[in-house]
Structure 1
Amino acid sequence: MAKSSKLCVIYNMAAKYRAPIFQLMDKEMDIDWHYSNQIGDIKEMDSSLLKKVTKLRRTNIIGSLYWQHGVMSLINQSEYNTFLALGELFSLSTWGLLIKRKLFYKNKKIYLWSHGWYGREGIIKRWMKKIFFGLSNGTFLYGNYARDIAIQQGNNPDKLWVIHNSLDYATHIKLRETLLPSDIYKDYFNNSDPTLVFIGRLTRVKHLDMVIQAVHTLKLKGENYNIVFVGDGEERKNLEKLAVEMNVNVWFYGGCYDDAQTAQLIYDADLCVSPGNVGLTAMHSMVFGTPVLTHSNFANQMPEFEAIQQGITGDFFQEGDIIDLVNSISNWFKNHSNRELVRIECYKEIDSKWTPEYQNKILKHNLKL
């Protein structure tokens, strides 16, 4: 494939889960990458997987505000006419880059890649976002929900493109092709009851105690379910104690770094339940055919909730409402007796628009490189 003009990508860091899309972009476009080192406990991808990487020094200023050194001078370089930057409102260096382009380099283009709008912004933040994203030549957003909010607030719809998100799709598909139903849960729990799964960090913000409480309530009503938590975290001990108190079947599988094992655990489960925000868990679950139940307050969700087609690839319950969660779990199993049909619908959703290939297509079409 013939390559056109060079693209300068500016990011906060290269998270490991972004490796597949970054590598695909690097393969099909002529890119110079500029980003900082690992932030917090987010795993970083191997920079040697990309052809040309420049590491930027990052300075935290106050609160969430930060500056990436060297960003402002990139606009001066003649080899760069097109930029793609992470659209973080708190990146003062990105603000500087956008303003400098607007004043002195109007022939160059800067595009942003961002969560964008959540729907819970106050007046000041809405005003700031309208200015920030308005300074760019266009913004790639993770979801239609954010795009709709942006349009409602007066932002130009012709400069907003939905790119969704992705994980290591190629690896997941290879694993998926090898999967067959197993007796892993039947053997562990010594029953054939439906199994609810959660995969991810066991943290307070995920409200996983609600899953245990809901299953306890369902048990009192004569409906029995197993729970599997794949992951570890600071809430594990509290959850273990609660599971004993509630007398429900919970398997604390722990952290799992074997993709084949994780794939089998998800595949054999019947429903992924994420009472807090769902994020990448939705994609990880659906790519192996397991539907997702999470809360319906989209202003407090991550963009991946859009992979859930209500009643088809999952469902929603009222945020924080344990009774509604109980009813939603019960109703899902009453109305979805055909597990294989649900599995196929989950596959279709992820395969259609939650892949690196889909993201790369949207990027190339709108960047016009």
Structure 2
Amino acid sequence: MVKSTKQGTSTHKICVIYNTAPRYREAVFRAIDKEYDCDWYFGKTKSDIKEMDTSLLKNVTYYKTYGNPQKWYWKRNYLRLLFRRDYKNYLILPETRSISDWIFFILAYTFFRKKHFYLWTHGWYGKESGYEAKMKLWLYRNASGTFVYGDRAKMLLIEQGIPQEKLFVIHNSLDYDIQKVLRENIKTSSIYNDHFQNSSPTIIFIGRLTKVKKLDMIVDALARLRNKGEKYNMVFVGDGSESDNLKVKVKSLDLNDQVWFYGASYDEKTNAELIYNADLCVSPGNVGLTAMHALIFGCPVITHNCFEWQMPEYEAIHAGETGDFFKMDDIDDLIATISKWFAVKSDKREEVRNACFKEIDTNWNPYYQMDIIKKNIKF
């Protein structure tokens, strides 16, 4: 446990409560920490999400959780944060399976009306129903404001009766400053020509190789595209539970010469080269931060079009500009979408690359996020 070293009360003090300290939020967390007088509270939980070095933040405390994270659980010493007199503003990731969260918000909205409670969350997928839907709407209706990841979530919540002025689209981001410097200095290389010994277009997937990503669809698509005379190289950058299954499938379809299992890479300079030199990123399941990683280095993205089952980052994909969409779980449509993309865009690589850069530079970076936070948290 890291104890707070600050004394007294700041008019710009924020109590930030998050379930973990994910590495991909480091840039925006550090920006928040620099802008405000923050006390940070993170859950001490086991997760496969890579965490940031929280010593980079000034005042950090870890809380323990008890119970089953997939069902119901309790956060130790969580409720006492409500009674801190120096906390007037809270920025919280609400967790619907946490009993302590629900008690916290019932007490907050009933007895602490002079305090401000801002939520930072997905918001609304469009598949909520019954008890879950009612409880989430109650949460958003009574909050001082809710920062949601995407425009679709905001639109759906407005349709559910949540006031527009209480909803702020904050988007998402990665290590933007580091990535932008790498991008500005990167050059086209022969990495794929050298590895595959051909000049065929290269498709990439970067991220964890898990079942939910439906990566077997890419392998099937490669085989069928080859059979109709279209040959593409494929590189998987990452590791995960589906790695062995994918390798077996690649071998069974005689695709070893077209598929490179690069493995996990945590070196951003290496990732930049791999992504920049690829022609297309394909994520058949939900796309998530894979889209952020691909677009920042100029690689367009194809993913499925069933948005209630998507991650909010799909909104960075604009059909025909920064990528495209195919019918969810429809291998024929995935094949057609890949074919169409290369037929139409093969001679417009720089135009597409610049469109990808612009999307991230405009909407998906910590500067955009801080602007939204500063405009909407009222002290």
TM surpasses 0.5? yes
AA partner of residue 303 (structure 1): P
In 2, are the aligned partners of 1:87 and 1:116 still within 8 Å (CA)? no
Match for residue 57 of structure 1 among 43, 47, 64: 64
Which has the higher mean CA deviation after the structures are superposed, 173-182 or 29-38? 29-38
Amino acid at match of 2:296: V
Q: After superposition, give the CA deviation of every residue in 1:100-121 in whole Å (9 maximum; x if it has no partner).
A: 1222221111010001111111
CA contact (8 A) 2:45 2:64 kept: no
Identity among equivalent positions (%) equals 50
- Could you tell me how far apart the structure 2 residues matched to 1:70 and 1:35 are? 12
- Correspondence for 2:378: 368
Provide the C-alpha distance between the structure 1 equivalents of 2:208 and 2:106, rounded to a whole number of angstroms.
39
Structure 1 portions without partners, runs of 5+: none
Shift of 1:87: 2.3
Paired AA for residue 221 in structure 1: K
> Are residue 347 (structure 1) and residue 357 (structure 2) matched?
yes
- 1:335 corresponds to which of 344, 351, 361: 344
Q: Does 1:161 align with 2:168?
A: yes
Equivalent residue in structure 1 for 2:115, among 98, 103, 108: 108
In structure 2, relative to structure 1, the CA distance for the partners of 1:308 and 1:183 (3 Å cut) is same
Q: Which residue, 250, 264, 271 being the options, matches 2:273?
A: 264
1:190 matched to which residue of 2?
197
The residue matched to 2:118 in structure 1 has which SS?
Answer: strand
Matched, 1:200 2:210: no
Check if 1:297 corresponds to 2:306: yes
- 1:152-208 CA distance string (max 9 Å, x none): 222222211100001010110111111100111011111111000000111111111
After superposition, the C-alpha distances for 1:40-95 in whole angstroms (9 at most, x for unaligned) are 22222112100011111212257432222222121212111111110222222222
- What is the DSSP-based 3-state SS (H/G/I as helix, E as strand, rest coil) of the residue aligned with 2:203? strand
2:72 and 2:361 map into 1 onto residues whose CA distance is: 37
Amino acid at match of 2:373: L
- Once residues 305 and 23 of structure 2 are traced to their aligned partners in structure 1, the CA distance between those partners, rounded to angstroms, is 29
Secondary structure in structure 2 of the residue aligned to 1:180? coil
Equivalent position SS for 1:124: helix
**1:124 shift after superposition:** 2.3
Query: When the two structures are aligned, how many residues end up with a matched partner?
Result: 367
Cα distance in 2 between the residues matched to 1:241 and 1:58: 39
2:35 equivalent among 28, 37, 62: 28
2:58 matches 1:48: no
Q: Secondary structure at the match of 2:51?
A: coil
Q: 1:296 to 1:62 in 2, by over 3 A?
A: closer
Contact (CA 8 Å) 1:38, 1:44: kept in 2 or not? no
Equivalent residue number for residue 319 of structure 1:
328
1:146 matched to 2:158? The reply is: no
Residue identity in the other structure for 1:355: N
* Paired residue type of 1:352: T
- 2:25 pairs with one of 8, 18, 22: 18
> Structure 1 residues 288 and 55, CA, compared in 2 at 3 Å: closer, same or farther?
same
* 2:129 maps to 1:122: yes
Which whole-Å CA distance do the structure 2 matches of 1:362 and 1:247 have between them? 50
Letter in 2 for 1:136: A
Secondary structure of 1:36 counterpart = strand
Residue 83 of structure 2 aligns to a residue whose secondary structure is: coil
Task: Measure how far apart 1:212 and its partner are.
Answer: 1.1
Q: 1:79 maps to which residue?
A: 86
Q: Given that residues 72 and 97 in structure 1 are in contact (C-alpha distance below 8 angstroms), is that contact kept between their aligned partners in structure 2? A: yes
Q: What is residue 105 of structure 2 aligned with on the other side?
A: 98
Cross-structure match for 1:279: 288
Aligned mates of 1:68, 1:304 — CA distance in 2: 29
Question: CA 1:225–1:61 in 2, change beyond 3 Å: closer, same or farther?
Answer: closer
Secondary structure of the corresponding residue to residue 106 of structure 1: coil
Deviates more, 1:170-179 or 1:60-69: 60-69
Q: 2:75 aligns with which of 68, 71, 81?
A: 68
Please show how residues 174-253 of structure 1 align to structure 2 within 5 Å: 174-248=181-255, 249-253=258-262
Equivalent position of 2:141 in the other structure: 134
Contact 1:197/1:273, CA 8 A, preserved across alignment: yes
Distance 1:315 1:62 in 2: 35
Supply the AA of the counterpart residue of 1:44.
Answer: E
Q: What letter corresponds to residue 360 of structure 1 in structure 2?
A: M
Give the residue type in structure 2 aligned to 1:272.
C
1:88 match: 95
Root-mean-square deviation (Å):
1.4
Extract unaligned runs of 5+ from structure 2. 1-9
Distance in structure 2 (CA, Å) of the matches to 1:62 and 1:146? 24
CA distance in 1 between partners of 2:132 and 2:112 (Å): 27
